[in-house]
Chain A
Amino acid sequence: MGWIGEQIDSIKSLQFRQVLTQAISLGMIVTSALIIWKGLMCVTGSESPVVVVLSGSMEPGFKRGDILFLHMSKDPIRAGEIVVFNLDEREIPIVHRVIKVHERQDTEEVDILTKGDNNLGDDRLLYAQGQLWLQRRHIMGRAVGFLPYVGWVTIIMTEKPIIKYILIGALGLLVITSKE
Chain B
Amino acid sequence: MHSFVYRANALLTFAVTILALMCAMASLSDNFNSPSPTAEVQVLNINWFQKKPDGDDEVSLTLNISANLQTLFTWNTKQVFVFLAAEYETPKNALNQVSLWDGIIPTKEHAQFWIHTTNKYRFIDQGSNLRGKGFNLTLHWHVMPKTGKMFADKLAMTGFRLPETYR
Residues of A within 8 A of B (CB): 60-62, 76, 78-82, 97, 99-106, 111, 117, 122, 143-148, 174, 180
Contacts and interface: CB of A to CB of B under 8 A. Distances in A.
Contact of B91 (A105, A122, A147): A105
B166 interface: no
A86 B106 CA distance: 29
A60 B104 contact: yes
A145 B27 contact: yes
B157 interface: no
Contacts of B94: 103-106
15 contacts: A60-B104, A61-B79, A76-B95, A79-B85, A79-B98, A80-B142, A97-B81, A99-B98, A99-B121, A102-B96, A102-B126, A105-B93, A106-B94, A117-B102, A146-B144
Given A111-B126, A144-B149, A146-B147, A79 B93 contact: no
Contacts of B154: 80
B101 to A, nearest CB: 10
B74 to A, nearest CB: 15
Contact of A146 (B92, B93, B148, B152): B148
Contacts of A106: 94
Q: Is the interface of B mostly helix, strand, loop or mixed?
A: strand
The 10 closest A-B pairs by CB, nearest first: A79-B97, A99-B99, A101-B97, A80-B140, A103-B95, A145-B149, A105-B94, A61-B144, A102-B93, A79-B85
Contacts, number: 83
Interface string B25-53: 00100000000000000000000000000
A76 B96 CA distance: 12
B99 A145 contact: no
B83 interface: yes
A168 to B, nearest CB: 17
A63 to B, nearest CB: 10
B115 interface: no
A145 B126 contact: no
A180 B1 contact: yes
A97 B163 CA distance: 30
B107 to A, nearest CB: 11
A32 to B, nearest CB: 15
Contacts of A180: 1
A105 B154 CA distance: 23
Contact of A101 (B96, B104, B146): B96
Contact of A148 (B1, B5, B104, B146): B146
Nearest to A142: B150
Contact of A78 (B5, B92, B97): B97
Given A60-B106, A99-B121, A122-B121, A79 B99 contact: yes
Nearest to B152: A80
A62 B95 CA distance: 29
B131 interface: no
Contact of B150 (A103, A105, A145): A145
Given A79-B98, A99-B102, A146-B144, 5 more contacts: A79-B83, A79-B85, A79-B99, A144-B150, A148-B147
Contact of B93 (A82, A103, A148): A103
A74 B51 CA distance: 35
